[in-house]
Each structure stands twice: as structure tokens, then as C-alpha cells.
Amino acid sequence: MEGSSLENHKIDVEKNFKKYEKIADKLKAIAHPYRLCIVKGLIDGECNVTTIQECLNLPQSTVSQHISKLKSAGIIEGRRSGLEICYRVVDNNIIDVVKLLLND
């Protein structure tokens, strides 16, 4: 069929592939129960690794790995406050997605 919806979609995918790839990477980053929990907690306010570790009852190294993945995806960022780093969510789209997923 000429000009079918599927053909239009193919053009859209080719044109916007990098955008879709970036979105997929962000979704992969939150597609883990602990990372989803970290993001949910950081939506409610800034937090340091020690507090996150205590809330999740995980080793500090495990929390740091999860934070690293979220930072690499551009979902959170850290702000130095004295000797510690406080993290916060910086991606408003991810905030909306997480709230939608968790019915908040």
C-alpha cells in the first residue's frame, strides 16, 4: 500500500533512531527494582549514598554501581556537599514515567 502507516513509521524510525536509542537506554537504566527504588526516593528529595544504602539495606559498593548506571544514563546527578555527594533526579521525563508506573 502506498503511503501506509507502516511505511511512515519506518521513515520515522530511521529519522529518529538516535532519539529512540537514548530513550531506550534510560528505560533500561530504571529497569531494575533497586534503581527504580533509588529514582523514586530521589524524586522525593536529594540523598547521599549512605542514606540510600541504609534505606535499601545493600552494600555501599552495590549502591554505587546502581548510582553509576543512573548517572551514565543522565537520570541523576551528584552535587558535592562537604565530604559527601548528594544525588537528585535531573530528568523530568523519567520523573513522569516513574510516577506513572508507580501510580503516584
How far apart CA 31 and CA 39 sit, in angstroms, is 11
Q: Would you say residue 27 has pLDDT above 70?
A: yes
When pLDDT is cut at 50, 70 and 90, the band that residue 6 belongs to is low
- Which pairing describes strands 84-89 and 76-81: parallel, antiparallel, or unpaired? antiparallel
Instruction: Tell me the pLDDT tens digit for each residue of 41-70.
Output: 999 999 999 999 999 999 999 999 999 999
Please give the average per-residue pLDDT across 99-104, as a whole number. Answer: 91
Question: pLDDT value at position 46?
Answer: 95
Q: What residues contact 6, with CB distance under 8 A and at least 6 apart?
A: none
Question: pLDDT value at position 1?
Answer: 45
What structural domains and CATH numbers belong to the chain? 5-101 (1.10.10.10)
Cα→Cα distances 3→8, 11, 14, 50, 62, Å: 7, 11, 16, 56, 50
Q: Would you say residue 2 has pLDDT above 80?
A: no
Cβ atoms within 10 Å, residue 7: 11
Question: pLDDT value at position 16?
Answer: 85
Q: What is the average pLDDT value for the chain, to the nearest integer?
A: 91
CB 75 within 8 A of CB 89: yes
Please give the average per-residue pLDDT across 60-84, as a whole number. Answer: 95
Residue with the larger pLDDT of the pair 9 and 90: 90
